[in-house]
Copies of this chain bind each other. A is one copy, B any other.
Amino acid sequence: MKERRRVTIRDVADAAGVSVATVSRVMSGSLKVNPEMAERVRRATEELEYRPNGAAQGLASGMHRSVGVVLPDLSNPYFHGIIKATNVGAARDGYRMLVTEWQEPGEELGVCLDVLSRVDGLLVLSARMETDGLRDLAARGVPTVLVNRVELGVDLPMVAVDNFSPMLELCQHLASLGHRRVVYLAGSPGAWQNRERWKAVQQARILGLDPVMVASDATIEAGYEATDEALGHDPTALIAFNDLAALGAVARLRELGLKTPEDISVTGFDDVALARYADPALTTIVSPKAALGEQAWVMLEASLRGERLEQPPLLSATFVQRASTGPAKGSRT
């Protein structure tokens, strides 16, 4: 394992018979360089298999050409759809994306700041991170974009999906099936998305729904575990915070001998890949993950350039009925 010295820009310069500055110019695609020289440089680069040192570039230019993504849970497929789209945008613009999972709240700002020593900007998908931390980031002028999190007191660009309207639509669907007593399996208490969804569910009282909230979370396990308590309220339908929780709930119901949707209806949110393939296929809300990720990148890229794009409106999500909802048991609809 001989420690062969890294080939630096200097080596390339020597090999091509030019100065390091010229090599740097060629690498960065500056037009002000003699084509013949550029060609020589390119050949030398190739031959020596030169790879610029990212750290040095970052130090010298103050730009790292990479952005950090902070999210609470890597295993939630909902995030995949988003960051995949973000990634193609970033790649297109020559940026690298570094994903960091972080769960414990309180620590998050620290992590962000730490990550920041190697990135130019941040995408915050984390619902749990305290508002103070965000405000701090905003105050520091760190290019940051909030995803699916609308914070009024924070001066940061944000992109988000409309949670309220589609959830209301979903409730309407439930109401039209004759449901009345429903339980909302909540997501993370502080999360904006959770507040919005719950708000919509409460609003649905006007449609005749009589909702109760039960604490849960955005995971299969949490949905599974919250189901027993939910059943205590004797509901005809379970409105889960997201698809994962819905899947967990369905599994627990099945275990208890309750069939979905015959005995009890269950709804999800997000439309992750599994939702369609589950049994029963989940009635849920199709969240525009790709569009969200794309827009997040556009906003972030602008921030990186010091530009501040106009705050875009909420993206709309659409309700889709599948097999996990049916007429309320005991209703004559």
Find chain B residues with CB under 8 A from A54 CB. 55, 58, 117-118
How many subunits of this chain does the assembly comprise? 2
Interface residue? A188 (CB, 8 A): no
User: CA A64 – CA B66 in complex, angstroms?
Assistant: 15
Residue-wise, chain A 69-111 has the 8 Å CB interface mask toward B (1 for contact) of 0000011010011011001000000001111110000000000
Interface residue? A31 (CB, 8 A): no
Interface residue? A1 (CB, 8 A): yes
Find chain B residues with CB under 8 A from A100 CB. 96-97
Interface residues on A, range: 35 or more
Tell me if B83 and A74 are in contact (CB < 8 A): yes
Tell me if A274 and B274 are in contact (CB < 8 A): yes
Tell me if B279 and A251 are in contact (CB < 8 A): yes
Known: A2-B141, A247-B277, A274-B274. A113 touches B51 (CB 8 A): yes
Interface residue? A44 (CB, 8 A): no
Interface residue? A171 (CB, 8 A): no
Using a CB-CB cutoff of 8 Å, which residues 213-230 of chain A contact chain B?
220-221, 224
Tell me if A118 and B77 are in contact (CB < 8 A): no
Most buried by B among A83, A221, A277: A277
Tell me if A274 and B220 are in contact (CB < 8 A): yes
Interface residue? A248 (CB, 8 A): yes
User: CA A75 – CA B80 in complex, angstroms?
Assistant: 6
Interface residue? A140 (CB, 8 A): yes
Interface residue? A310 (CB, 8 A): no
29 A-B contact pairs sorted by A residue (CB < 8 Å)? A1-B306, A2-B141, A51-B113, A51-B117, A53-B117, A55-B117, A55-B118, A59-B59, A66-B118, A75-B273, A77-B77, A84-B101, A87-B101, A96-B100, A98-B98, A98-B99, A99-B99, A118-B118, A220-B273, A220-B274, A221-B273, A247-B274, A251-B276, A251-B277, A251-B278, A251-B279, A254-B279, A278-B278, A278-B279
A55-B118, A274-B274 given; 4 more Cβ-contact pairs under 8 Å = A74-B74, A74-B80, A75-B84, A75-B273
Residues of A at the B interface (CB closer than 8 Å) are 1-4, 51-56, 58-59, 64, 66, 74-75, 77, 80-81, 83-84, 87, 96-101, 113-118, 140-141, 220-221, 224, 247-248, 250-251, 254, 273-274, 276-279, 306
